Amino acid sequence: GDSVTQMEGPVTLSEEAFLTINCTYTATGYPSLFWYVQYPGEGLQLLLKATKADDKGSNKGFEATYRKETTSFHLEKGSVQVSDSAVYFCALSDRGGSYIPTFGRGTSLIVHP
Amino acid sequence: NAGVTQTPKFQVLKTGQSMTLQCAQDMNHNSMYWYRQDPGMGLRLIYYSASEGTTDKGEVPNGYNVSRLNKREFSLRLESAAPSQTSVYFCASSDLRSEQYFGPGTRLTVT
């Protein structure tokens, strides 16, 4: 079946540091890939997405590129802020498969001033 | 657009009590989902409804029932609450196999 593996946290950074959160996937079909963000006390919200190989999703300074050859969708940001402290979830939706999306376990990011 | 709304936001139950969590979406999505989120466990799917009139079990359906009342509304019922059901519950909706939109969550404590 489909699966998503993302790096364990917490990831602790100083403000203005470079961020990478790794995400790799396995899928039987041809998936769409997503990053969601969850701020404390809130529900998940879509951060960015990519629907085909070599697509780059971007939003709020975050980027991720759909790499089919390495089955990866790593999240990056050049300069993090304290307000980026949250939990980040990588997910896939297999367009040829079931209605159930597959989520990673989440990675907590803590940014210190 | 309110997006996905959930009621109540907080609830405390005693063991054995019942309750229904309500969820509604105004985005005309066909698919709706109920998840629970526990520390260190990520999101776990309880039930989903691919389209109006259908419901299916997810990863952790035991102790829960659902009703897809119409295209907008999808409720989750706990018939006899247990302490193991203490969790944060999220409802989500989506178009077919596209990104999901989540509600703000219901924080449930069972004593």
pLDDT in tens, B17-69: 999 999 999 999 999 999 999 987 889 999 999 999 999 999 999 999 999 99
Nearest CB to B99 within list A34, A94, A97: A34
The widest CA-to-CA distance across chain A, in whole angstroms, is 44
Q: In whole angstroms, give the CA distance from residue B22 to residue B74.
A: 7
Neighbour count for residue B101 (Cβ, 10 Å): 19
Chain A contacts in chain B segment 42-101 (CB below 8 A): 42-43, 45, 48, 50, 58, 90, 92, 94, 96-101
A69-87 as b/e: b if 16+ CB within 10 A: eebbbbbebeebeeebbbb
The residues pairing with B33 across neighbouring beta strands, listed in sequence order, are B48, B92
Q: Which residues of A touch B36 (CB under 8 A)?
A: none
Would you place residue B95 in the very low, low, confident or very high pLDDT band (cuts 50, 70, 90)?
Answer: confident
Cβ–Cβ below 8 Å for B97 and A94: yes
Hunting for tokens 């959930």 — which residue is that? B6
The pLDDT tens digits of the residues spanning A5-46 come to 999 889 999 999 999 999 999 998 789 999 999 999 999 999
